Amino acid sequence: MLSVGMNMKGRDFLNLQDYTPGEIGALLELAEELKEKQKSNVPHPYLQGKTLGMIFQKSSTRTRVSFEVAMYQLGGRPLFLNAGDLQLNRGESIADTARTLSRYLDGIMIRTYSHADVEELAKYAAIPVINGLTDLNHPCQIMADLMTVKEHKGQLAGLKLAYVGDGNNICHSLLFGCAKVGMSISVASPKDYWPQEQIVNQARQDALSAGAAVRITTDPVEAVSGADVVVTDVWASMGQEVEKAERVAVFAPYQVNRKLVAHAKPDYIFLHCLPAHRGEEVVEEVIDGSHSVVWDEAENRLHVQKAVLAALL
Question: At 160, which helix (H) or strand (E)?
Answer: strand 160-164
Q: Which residues contact 169 (CB under 8 A, 6 or more apart)?
A: 133, 134, 135, 136, 137, 138, 237
Share of the chain above pLDDT 90, in %: 90
Domain spans in the chain, listed from the N-terminal domain onward: 16-137+300-312, 139-298
Q: Is 138 a catalytic residue?
A: yes
Give the pLDDT confidence score for residue 289 in this predicted structure: 98
Question: At 181, which helix (H) or strand (E)?
Answer: helix 169-181
Residue 2: pLDDT band by 50, 70, 90 thresholds?
Answer: low
Q: Which residues contact 285 (CB under 8 A, 6 or more apart)?
A: 257, 258
Give the 3-state secondary structure of 112-129. CCCHHHHHHHHHHCCCCE
Give the pLDDT confidence score for residue 32 in this predicted structure: 98
Give the pLDDT confidence score for residue 89 in this predicted structure: 63
pTM of the model: 0.96
Q: Is 172 a catalytic residue?
A: no
Q: Which of 8-22, 190-204, 237-251 has the lowest mean pLDDT?
A: 237-251
Q: Helix, strand or coil for residue 173? A: helix
pLDDT at 1 > cutoff 60 = no
User: What CATH superfamily classification does 16-137+300-312 receive?
Assistant: Aspartate/ornithine carbamoyltransferase (3.40.50.1370)
Query: Distance between CA 248 and CA 166 in Å, rounded?
Result: 11
Q: Which of 11, 12, 73, 111 is catalytic?
A: 111
Q: Is 166 a catalytic residue?
A: no
Nearest to 60 by CA among 176, 138, 177: 138
Share of the chain above pLDDT 70, in %: 96
Q: Which of 233, 247, 291, 305 is catalytic?
A: 233
Name the DSSP letter for residue 218: S
- Structure-derived torsion over alpha carbons of residues 145, 148, 152, 154, reported in degrees to the nearest 10: 90
The answer to whether the annotation marks 139 as part of a ligand binding site is yes
Q: Which of 16-25, 33-42, 233-242, 273-282 has the lowest mean pLDDT?
A: 233-242
Give the pLDDT confidence score for residue 88 in this predicted structure: 73
The answer to whether the annotation marks 204 as part of a ligand binding site is no
Q: Which of 273, 291, 303, 305 is catalytic?
A: 273
- Structure-derived torsion over alpha carbons of residues 130, 42, 145, 4, reported in degrees to the nearest 10: 60
Same fold, 16-137+300-312 and 139-298: yes
Give the domain 139-298 fold: Rossmann fold (3.40.50)
The answer to whether the annotation marks 301 as part of a ligand binding site is yes
The answer to whether the annotation marks 78 as part of a ligand binding site is no
Within 210-282, residue ranges assigned H as helices are: 220-224, 244-251, 258-261
Give the pLDDT confidence score for residue 83 in this predicted structure: 78
Mean per-residue pLDDT, 141-163: 98
